[in-house]
Structure 1
C-alpha cells in the first residue's frame, strides 16, 4: 500500500522541476513511511511513497522495465491478490523476474497485455504507467474504488495523485472550491468523478484513463451488469461460503503483522471467524469503544445495542488476542486530532466522532500491525442497512437520503447559500442519472427491479464514500486496510442474486448470515444490524460547544461565509444533556469547515 503522484507535460521540460515532484510526493509520506522514490524525464515526472507489505526489500518504486523501443515505468498503490497466479502465467510466456513483489507482476502484465492488464487483476489498486514507446500515461483504478486516484488536466498534460493534496502541491493546481464542489459536499450523493476542487476529477472505479498529446480518453473496463441467477438457495449459500473463504485466505497474505477489525456485527465477525480458521491461534483483533458506553448505552434510531458484549463473544469463540481502543470525549474532540483527520481526508466531511474515532483506532492498531482486514462494504453487497427494509427503499431518491431526511435536523449553513446551491434539484438530478445507469433483466418483477436499483445505488455511490473514508484514515497512519467484501467476484455474484434470496429467512443479509454461521457465535448470528458506533457521552457535545464559542469570537473568519453565525450561537447554548443530533452534527460540520479553511486556504467562489 502506497501513495503515487505524477506530472505529464508535453510542452515543458520537467527535468528542471524535480523539487516540485519531490514536494508532491512528500505530501503522502504517511501513506508510505518506508521508502520514497522519484523518476524524472523531460515529458514526465513520477513520485512514490511506499508502505512495504510484500517483498519488503524488492518492491521499490518507481519501477522500470526496459524494452527495445523505450522504457515502461510504473507507480503502483494497492495489492493484487492473484499475483501468484499471474506471475506463473507470465513466466510461462517468457517473462523473467527481479523481485517477488506484486508490483513487478503488474508491470510485466502491462508489458504483456497493455491496458488489458486491468481486467486480469483481482485486488485493490490505483496505478499509473508511463509508456515511453508511445509517450502516453495510463491510469488504472480498481473495480470498486477501494484505492483513491485523482487527476487534474493541464494545458499540456495532467497532474495526478493518490490524494488531492499531492496535486495541490503543484503550483499549476488552483485551490478553488466553487458552488459545484459545495453542492456535492453537502448532498451526500457521491457524484461520479467528483473531487471538490475546481478542475480536479477522480479516476472512476473500474476505469482506465489514457493521456497522450492529443488529450485524455477514459475507458470503463468493469461495471455491474444484470445476469440471470440460476442457483438455488442451498447452492447460493454454498457459493458465498466458498467465495468468502477464498477471499479471506488471499487477503491474509502479507510479510508483515496482520489483524482484523472487529465490531461485534455480522460482517466483521464473519471475517474474523474465517481469518481465525485460516490462521489458527494468534489472530489479533481490534475494536473501538467509548468510556462508559456499555454501561450507559441508550438505544436510538440507528443502534439497538452496544457492541462490547458481542465483541467479547467473538473473541472468546475464535481465541483471538483482542484489544479494545477505548476513547473519551477529550480525545475525540481534540482539535489536533480533528485537523489530522481533515489533512487525511482533504475535505470537511463533518462526520465528527465517527471520523476521529476511526483515525484514533487505526493509529492504535498501527503500533501492533501493518495490515488489517475489515468488514466494510458487506451492507452494500448483501443489503444490510435499515433503509433497505423500510419505506426508504421505495422513495424516489437515494434511500440513505430518504432515511436521514426522516430524522428532523436543522442546518448550520447560511440560508442564502443553501438557496443558491439548489440542493433539492441537485440531488434529484443525481438520482435520475444514477438510476439511468442500472441494467435490468427482461421481464424482471417490479419489486426485484426496484431492489436491484437500490443495490446498484449503494454499490456505485454510497460505498465509495465509505471506502474513501476508510482508506484516508488508515493510510494517514500507515495502516493498510483490506476489504474482503469488495472482491469483484463476490460483488457480481451477490448483486445478481434475487432480493428474495438475499432475505430468504426474513432477516437482513440472509446469505452472509447462513454462509458464515459455522464461524459465528449464536449471539452475533441473531444480532440486528448496528452501524459504526458513536459516543453517547454528553461531554462530547459540551466540548464542541466550548470550541464553537471560541470560534465565534473571530469576527472575520471566512467560515462565516458558509455558516450561519446565529445558528452556531444558539446551538452552543443548548443544554448538552438535551442536545439533539442536529445540533451536534451541525457543530461538528462547523468546526470541520473552520479548521479546513485554515489548513487548505481555499479560494471560495460562491456565484
Structure 2
C-alpha cells in the first residue's frame, strides 16, 4: 500500500519543479512511511510514498523500464493478489524480472497488454503509467474502488493523487468547494467520479482514464452485469466457500506481520476462522484485534441498530480458533480528544460527521500498527450478501430512493435540519438525492426473467455495491493509511461480488435470515453463538461522558463564533449545546459530531465556499 501523485504539463519543463512534486508527495507521508521517490521527465513528474509489503528490498518506486523507443514509468498503490500467476505468464512471453514485487509485474503487464492489464488483475489497486513513447498518461483504479485515486485537469495538463490533499498541494489548484461539492458532502450518496473540491474528479472504480495532448478519455473495463444464476442452494454455498478459501489464501500473502480485524460478527469471524485454518497448516497462529470501550459490555443498552455488544462474541471466536488476540479498549477522553478528531478529519479530507466511529477506527488502527502492517477486514460483506436490516424492511423495499436513506427517513429532513436555511434552500438536498437516485438506477443491469420483487432486490443490492460500499471503503482506506496500515477487504474480490450479486434473493435468505450464503459457507468453522448472532454494525460508545465532552467542545465553538456556524443550522447547534446533559440522545450527539467535524475541516483547509 502506498500513496501516489503526479503532474502532467505539456507546456512546462517539470524537471524544474522538483520542490512541488516533493510537496505533493509529502502530504501523503503517512501512506508510505517506508520510502519516497520521484521520477521526473520534461512533461511528467511521478511521485511515490511507499509502505513496504511485498519484496521489501526490491519494490521501490517509481519504477521504470527502458524500451527501444523510450521510457515507461509507473507509480502504484495496492496489491495484485494474482501477481505470481501473471509473472509466470509474462515470463513465458519473454519478460525478465529483476525483483519479486507485484509492482514490476504490473509494469511489465502494461508493456505486454497496455491498458488491458487492468482486466488481468485481481486485487485492490490504483496506479499511473506515463509512457514517453506516446506522451500518454494512464490512471487505472480497481473494480470496487478499494484504493482511492483523484485527478484534476489544469490549463496545460493534469494533476493526480491518491488523496485530494496531494492535488491541493500544487499551487495551480485553489481550495474551493462549490454547491455540488456541498451537495455531495451532505447527501450521503457517493456519486461516481465526483469529489467535493471544485474541478477535482475521482477515477470511477473499474475505469481507465487516458490523458494526452488530445485531452482526456474514460473507458470502463468492469461493471456489474446481470446473468442467470443456475446453481442450486448446495452448489451456491459450496462455491462461495471455495471462493472464500481462495481469496483468504491470496490475501494472507505478505512479507510483513498480518492480522485480522475481529468484531465478533459473522463477516470478520468467518475471515478469522478461515485464516486460522490456513495459517495452522503453515504452523502459524492467526493474530486478531478488536475495538472496545471502557465499560461497554457491562453497561450495554440495546438500541435499534445494535442488539448486543461485540465483546462476548469476540472472545468466543478467539477461544474457538485459538487466535493471538488483543482488545484495544478506548475511553471517552481518548475518543473526544480534539487532536484525534483532527487526525481523522485530515485523513478523510472532508467532514463526514461520524465522530466517534471515525475516531475509534483511527485509534484502533494506530494501536494495531504497533504490531502488524497488514490487516484483513470483513468490510463489504453486508453489501455483498444482503446483511443490513433495511434490506429486509418492506418500507425500504418499496421506496424510490437510496435504501439507507429510506431506512432512516433522512431524505427530506437532513438538509434543512443540518444546514443553515439559506444554504439548504440553495443546495436542495432532497432534489439532488432524487436526481442521483434516478441516475444510479438508470445504469443498473437487469434480467427479463426477474420478477418485480426480484428486480427491486437486485436494485437494492446494486445501489449498495456501487454507492454505499464506496463510502465505507473510502473511510477504511483513509483511516488505515493515516497510520501506515494496509487493510485488505476479501469480500470485495470481484469474483465473489459477481457471483453473489446474481444469486436470487431467495438463495441469499434461504434460512430466513440475512447473509444466508455466507453463514452456510462458514458455519463449520465458527462457534454457534456467532452463527446465530443478529447483525450488529460497527460499534459506537454509549458512555455519557463522551457526549458530555462533545457538548463542552461545542459550547466553546459557539462562544468563539466558529466559521462552521455559517454553514450549519446555528440555532439547531445552540439548542443542542444548551440541553441538560441527561437530554443528550443519539440524534443530539450527532449534532455535536457534525459541528465539530465541520469546524475542524474549516480549520485544516480554510476552503473557499462558493454557493
Corresponding position: 1:579 with 2:584? yes
Query: Does the Cα contact within 8 Å between 1:5 and 1:48 map onto a contact in 2?
Result: yes
| Partner residue in 2 for 1:459 | 465
| Partner residue in 2 for 1:228 | 228
Pick one of 420, 424, 437 that aligns with 1:431.
437
Corresponding position: 1:304 with 2:310? no
What SS class does the counterpart of residue 66 from structure 1 fall into? strand
Deviations 1:455-510 (A, max 9, x none): 00000000000000000000000000000000000000000111110001100000
CA positional deviation for 1:194 = 1.4
CA positional deviation for 1:413 = 2.1
C-alpha separation in 2, matches of 1:68 and 1:567: 66
Query: Does the Cα contact within 8 Å between 1:412 and 1:590 map onto a contact in 2?
Result: no
C-alpha separation in 2, matches of 1:113 and 1:70: 17
Query: Does the Cα contact within 8 Å between 1:265 and 1:307 map onto a contact in 2?
Result: yes
| Partner residue in 1 for 2:379 | 376
- The residue correspondences of 1:206-355 to structure 2 (distance < 5 A) are 206-280=206-280, 281-355=284-358
C-alpha separation in 1, matches of 2:159 and 2:581: 46
What SS class does the counterpart of residue 341 from structure 1 fall into? helix
Corresponding position: 1:414 with 2:417? no
TM-score by length of 2: 0.98
Q: Is 385-394 or 468-477 further displaced after alignment?
A: 385-394
C-alpha separation in 2, matches of 1:125 and 1:412: 35
TM-score by length of 1: 0.99
Deviations 1:338-365 (A, max 9, x none): 0000110000010010000000000000
CA positional deviation for 1:406 = 6.9
Corresponding position: 1:36 with 2:36? yes
C-alpha separation in 1, matches of 2:179 and 2:60: 41
Corresponding position: 1:150 with 2:150? yes
C-alpha separation in 2, matches of 1:6 and 1:102: 21
Corresponding position: 1:194 with 2:197? no
Query: Does the Cα contact within 8 Å between 1:548 and 1:572 map onto a contact in 2?
Result: yes
Pick one of 381, 396, 411 that aligns with 1:392.
396
Q: Tell me, which stretches of 5 or more residues in structure 1 are unaligned?
A: none
| Partner residue in 1 for 2:171 | 171
| Partner residue in 2 for 1:563 | 568
Corresponding position: 1:50 with 2:50? yes
Corresponding position: 1:588 with 2:580? no
What SS class does the counterpart of residue 540 from structure 2 fall into? coil
| Partner residue in 1 for 2:180 | 180
Corresponding position: 1:506 with 2:518? no
Pick one of 542, 548, 551 that aligns with 1:545.
551
| Partner residue in 1 for 2:530 | 524
CA positional deviation for 1:569 = 1.7
CA positional deviation for 1:565 = 2.5
CA positional deviation for 1:420 = 1.1
Query: Does the Cα contact within 8 Å between 1:6 and 1:47 map onto a contact in 2?
Result: yes
| Partner residue in 2 for 1:444 | 450
Query: Does the Cα contact within 8 Å between 1:144 and 1:205 map onto a contact in 2?
Result: yes
CA positional deviation for 1:573 = 1.8
C-alpha separation in 2, matches of 1:190 and 1:487: 21
C-alpha separation in 2, matches of 1:414 and 1:387: 30
| Partner residue in 2 for 1:140 | 140
Deviations 1:77-97 (A, max 9, x none): 000000000000000000001
Deviations 1:24-56 (A, max 9, x none): 000010000000001111100010000000000
C-alpha separation in 2, matches of 1:422 and 1:346: 23
Query: Does the Cα contact within 8 Å between 1:411 and 1:582 map onto a contact in 2?
Result: no
C-alpha separation in 1, matches of 2:120 and 2:320: 37
CA positional deviation for 1:584 = 0.7
CA positional deviation for 1:173 = 1.1
What SS class does the counterpart of residue 49 from structure 1 fall into? strand
Q: Is 154-163 or 437-446 further displaced after alignment?
A: 437-446
The alignment's C-alpha RMSD in Å is 1.1
Deviations 1:378-430 (A, max 9, x none): 00000000110002132110000011217988834212211111011100000
Distance 1:347 1:406, change over 3 A: closer
| Partner residue in 2 for 1:7 | 7
C-alpha separation in 2, matches of 1:401 and 1:275: 35
Q: Is 563-572 or 442-451 further displaced after alignment?
A: 563-572
| Partner residue in 2 for 1:360 | 363
CA positional deviation for 1:558 = 2.2
C-alpha separation in 2, matches of 1:443 and 1:127: 39
Q: Is 8-17 or 238-247 further displaced after alignment?
A: 8-17
C-alpha separation in 2, matches of 1:412 and 1:575: 21
CA positional deviation for 1:575 = 2.5
C-alpha separation in 1, matches of 2:60 and 2:268: 33
What SS class does the counterpart of residue 98 from structure 1 fall into? coil
Query: Does the Cα contact within 8 Å between 1:539 and 1:576 map onto a contact in 2?
Result: no
Query: Does the Cα contact within 8 Å between 1:411 and 1:586 map onto a contact in 2?
Result: no
C-alpha separation in 2, matches of 1:585 and 1:604: 23
